[in-house]
Amino acid sequence: MDKSIYSSLSLKNSLTLTVSTLLLTACSYNIDNTMTNIKAPKAKKIAKELKKHGDIRIDNYYWLNDRENPEVIKYLEAENNYFDAHMKHTNAFQKALFEEMKGRIKEDDESVPYKKNGYYYITRFEKGKEYPIYSRKKETLDADEEILFDVNEMAKGHDYYQLGSFKISPNNKLAAFSFDTISRRQYNVLIKNLETGEIYPEEIKNTTGGMTWANDNKTLFYTNKDETTLRSDKIMKHRLGTAVIEDTLVYEEKDDTFSTFVYKTKSSQYLVIGSSSTLTSEYQILDADKPNDNFQLFQKRIHGLEYDISHFDNHFYINTNADGASNFKLMRCPIGKTTKTNWQEVIPHREDTLLEGLEIFKDYLVLEERTNGLNKIRIKRWDNTADYYLPFKEETYAAYTYYNPEFDTNILRYGYQSMTTPSSVIDFDMDNQTQQIVKEQEVLGGKFKKENYESKRLWATAKDGTKIPISIVYRKGIQLDGKNPLLLYGYGSYGYTIDPSFSTNRLSLLDRGFIFAIAHIRGSEYLGRKWYEDGKLLHKKNTFTDFNTCAHYLIAENYTSSNHIYAMGGSAGGLLMGAILNLEPELYNGVVAAVPFVDVITTMLDDSIPLTTGEYDEWGNPNEKEFYDYMLSYSPYDQVKAVAYTNLLVTTGLHDSQVQYWEPAKWVAKLRELKKEGKKLLLHTNMTAGHGGASGRFEALKETARDYAFIFDLEEIKK
């Protein structure tokens, strides 16, 4: 769930450029492939005056925000050529890293089957293939396999292909599925007859990829996007067999700071339309047996009131921050009496525990909580005869409920992993409190042994006295002499928490002597809702200073040194990378900024850019001077200085709908203009992908190998 920042269609109509040719300095190559004669591309400068609140900014690279301009493409390709030239000597190493990471993956793998509405559903991969195969078996796992979607076949002829989701009709005969072939997160929806294999002619375009069936097996609800802003703004109703142009508008979200979505409750008894902004939510409900009736408001929006709803038996259960419950509490209300005045407390608010989610069963309520940064799973019988927590013994770990589509079961399926423990899927019997590991991640290659690695949690102290948690992992036996290379990762926005999970790819770092660390900085919800509130809006700078505080702590404790520490982050974490560089340009030996949101002010002032208006509660609205001044003071693009910056790799995707490619492109162009010479500055643009990078599972590994090779090269690690 990267809500993250930004996207947009071309802004070519808003630009009046009188340019003809792009003034690029050609790259030259020595015969021996060294880099002594290679010169960086230089983007031409066309001054664009930007005025707001009496402040004037000059943006010399504003012209780059037109992906339809051939000169823009030439510039991006020139940067790619420059990247290729500088990284050419690592190509063999990159290939070796790719094969190494690929070699740890069980290529012919499959998911744990889950049962829903009479069928077991399975996702599997076949050896050598990039994409999953989705199948099902009727009633028993011994039944014949029915292929629903072979994404490998569907992806043929496409540089990028993403199957968004699919929803099976209640009678099990139809599947609505969504797909994206551009990587703009604009999904088309088709309907497949699972008995005949026929794909129906009606194609619904420009959706979020989410949809749900009514119980009549004929009516499909889906979410449309605004063509320009890509905001999810309309809930539509499609009747099977009719033309899409005849689809009915069910609900339009007119507040441009909100987005809307539609789903069906676990009970299958209600269709739900949700509307949400960063701080406020609202729901409407409809009997799923009556798709032509009108949706009824559950509780009207009140600014600052957040709530989620789940249906069970004669009640709705509400996870909410109502009445000052900043860490959320659980309430319930009778069906037919859903307004806030009828909500009754089930689980009270706790100052030290964040209620992150819940799972409802016939006899049990399961709560996902977070206390002191650690995940907890609480199991409580409705009759109050049992109330206990699952035991987790590691110092730092990640635990979470898995997909549990059935009500009438005593089995809870959950997941567990840590930075040293591969992920497991576990079936827990809530009656007798026994469990069975139904799937354990296999690490192939024969070299991984859990006991060879150590993970723990450290605490750095910020200047304001706040303790900042750090999850850390390394291979046992290293000496804490300050000479260890260390990669510090961070995000710190939207309340999204980076949990200390397992990664087979990361072993390529650890086995070469690297320490890997996650900085649990303010802006996440690692230490509860207040941790998030203290890292957003007019407190956003805490996120950046927290990260550098963690770096200084790790250096002071001799885990590493400035000559060997590296930083990495993507999207809003890319903003983090830009901000920490401006604060301390030479603290790190290298930084990798993936799809970075770095042009904060210009983007947030342009409400035609996708997702902008919905971000005001996260970053602030720069149309208000207080927020403008504060955001300007940390905006990485605006704060580039004529100083010596460390080595930097920036990556982006031409079709990115979350953070437009031009933000990192402009940032690199400005850095090239102002920074002092001496350190590497590389930009790589994936010309066929968007925010998430390559769509295939192996193609994505190549991007990881590229990023690692950049860091290894700075450490002079050759193999």
Q: What is the pLDDT of residue 29?
A: 25
Q: Is the pLDDT of residue 1 over 50?
A: no
CATH of the domain at 604: 3.40.50.1820
Same domain, 631 and 502: yes
Task: Tell me if 132 is assigned to some domain.
Answer: yes
Asked whether the predicted pLDDT for residue 4 surpasses 50, the reply is no
Which tens digits make up the pLDDT trace of 435-454? 999 999 999 988 899 999 99
- First-residue to last-residue Cα distance in the chain: 34
Looking at residue 38, its pLDDT comes to: 77
**Coil, strand or helix: which one is 665?**
helix
CA 711 – CA 692 distance, rounded (Å):
21
Using pLDDT thresholds of 50, 70 and 90, give the confidence band for residue 698: confident
Within-domain flag for 207? yes
pLDDT at residue 12 tops 50 = no
Percent of the chain scored above 70 by pLDDT? 93
**Residue 689 domain flag:** yes
Q: Which of 411, 441, 471 is the last residue of a domain?
A: 441
Alpha-carbon gap, residue 363 to 458, rounded angstroms: 39
- Compute the average pLDDT of residues 679-692: 81
Q: Is 615's pLDDT higher than 90? A: no
Is it the case that residue 22 has pLDDT exceeding 90?
no
> Looking at the structure, do residues 169 and 78 belong to the same domain, yes or no?
no
Question: Is 542 in contact with 534 (CB distance < 8 Å)?
Answer: yes
Q: What gap in Å lies between CA 560 and CA 576, rounded to an integer?
A: 21
Question: How crowded is the C-beta side of 161, counted as CA atoms within 13 Å?
Answer: 14
Q: How many domains does the chain have?
A: 4
Quick one: tokens of 628? 């403008």
Whether residue 97 is contained in a domain is answered as yes
Can you spell out the DSSP letters for 349-382?
A: -BTTEEEEEEEE-SSEEEEEEEETTEEEEEEEET
- Smallest Cα–Cα separation from 680: which of 45, 96, 28, 79? 79
> Which pLDDT value is given to residue 15?
26
Nearest 5°: phi and psi at 664? -65, -35
Question: Is the model more confident about 689 or about 716?
Answer: 716
Higher pLDDT, 15 or 335: 335
SS3 417: strand
pLDDT at 704: 94
Residue 349 lies in a domain: no
- Cβ neighbors of 4 (< 8 A, separation 6 or more) are 493, 494, 571, 572, 597, 658, 659, 691
Same domain, 531 and 453: yes
pLDDT for 13: 29
* Residue ranges with strand state E in 448-520: 453-461, 467-475, 486-489, 515-519
> pLDDT confidence of 689, banded at 50, 70, 90?
low
Among 142-146, 215-219, 612-616, 646-650, which is the least confidently predicted range? 612-616
Query: DSSP letter string over 544-578?
Result: HHHHHHHHHHHHHTTS--TTTEEEEEETHHHHHHH
pLDDT value at residue 512:
97
- Residues marked active site are found at 571, 656, 691
386: Cβ contacts below 8 Å, ≥ 6 apart:
379, 380, 430
pLDDT value at residue 610? 61
Q: Tell me, yes or no, whether 64 lies in a domain.
A: yes
pLDDT at 24 over 60: no
pLDDT tens by residue, 78-101: 999 999 999 999 999 999 999 999
- Do both 209 and 300 map to the same domain? yes
Cβ atoms of residues 578 and 485 within 8 Å: no
> Distance between CA atoms of 267 and 117, rounded to whole angstroms?
11
Does 696 fall in a domain?
A: yes
pLDDT class of 14 with cuts at 50, 70, 90:
very low
Spatial neighbors of 378 by CB under 8 A, at least 6 apart, are 366, 367, 369, 387, 388, 389
Residue 284: strand, helix, or coil:
strand
Instruction: Determine the Cα–Cα distance for residues 22 and 42; give it in Å rounded to an integer.
Output: 9
Q: Would you state the pLDDT for residue 37?
A: 66
Pairing type for strands 119-124 and 232-239 reads unpaired
- For residues 182 and 233, membership in a common domain is answered with yes
pLDDT of 418 above 80: yes
Task: Lowest mean pLDDT of 4-13, 155-164, 197-206, 319-328, name the range.
Answer: 4-13
At 52, the amino acid letter reads: K
Amino acid at 614: G
Q: Are residues 525 and 603 in the same domain?
A: yes
Tokens representing 213? 């069936």
Q: Of 289, 305, 321, which residue constitutes the final position of a domain?
A: 305
Q: What is the CATH number of the domain that holds 272?
A: 2.130.10.120
Q: Compute the average pLDDT of residues 194-219.
A: 94
Residue 187 inside a domain? The answer is yes
pTM value is 0.88
The gap from C-alpha 611 to its chain's centroid, in whole angstroms, comes to 15
Is the pLDDT confidence value at 582 over 90? yes
**Does residue 641 share a domain with residue 513?**
yes
Domain encompassing residue 547: 12-102+446-714
Report the C-alpha gap between 421 and 172 in whole angstroms. Answer: 38
The secondary structure element, H or E, covering residue 218 is none
Q: Are residues 615 and 470 in the same domain?
A: yes
CA angle 8, 14, 16 (to 5 degrees): 135
- 452/521 same-domain check: yes
Q: Do 297 and 378 fall into the same domain?
A: no
Residues 95 and 120 in one domain: no
More confident of the two residues 472 and 608:
472
Q: How confident is the model at residue 597 (pLDDT cuts 50, 70, 90)?
A: very high
Choose the final residue of a domain: 133, 156, 179: 156
Query: How do residues 283-300 score in pLDDT, each as one tens digit?
Result: 999 999 999 999 999 999
Which one has a higher pLDDT value, 612 or 337? 337
Same-domain pairing of 571 and 499: yes
| pLDDT at 188 exceeding the cut of 70 | yes
Least confident range from 346-355, 416-425, 684-693: namely 684-693
Does residue 691 carry a pLDDT above 80? no
pLDDT at 692: 52
Burial class of residue 530 in the structure, from the number of CB atoms within 10 Å of its CB (0-12 exposed, 13-18 middle, 19+ buried): middle
With bands split at pLDDT 50, 70 and 90, how would you rate the model's confidence at 659? confident
Tell me how far apart the alpha carbons of residues 545 and 525 are, in angstroms, rounded to a whole number: 17
Q: What's the chain's length in residues?
A: 719
Q: How far is CA 550 from CA 132, 469, 517, in A?
A: 39, 8, 9
- Region 95-110: mean pLDDT is 93
Contacts of 281 (CB under 8 A, 6+ apart): 274, 275, 301, 305, 306, 307, 308
646 closest CA partner among 606, 586, 594 = 586
Which amino acid would we find at residue 564? H
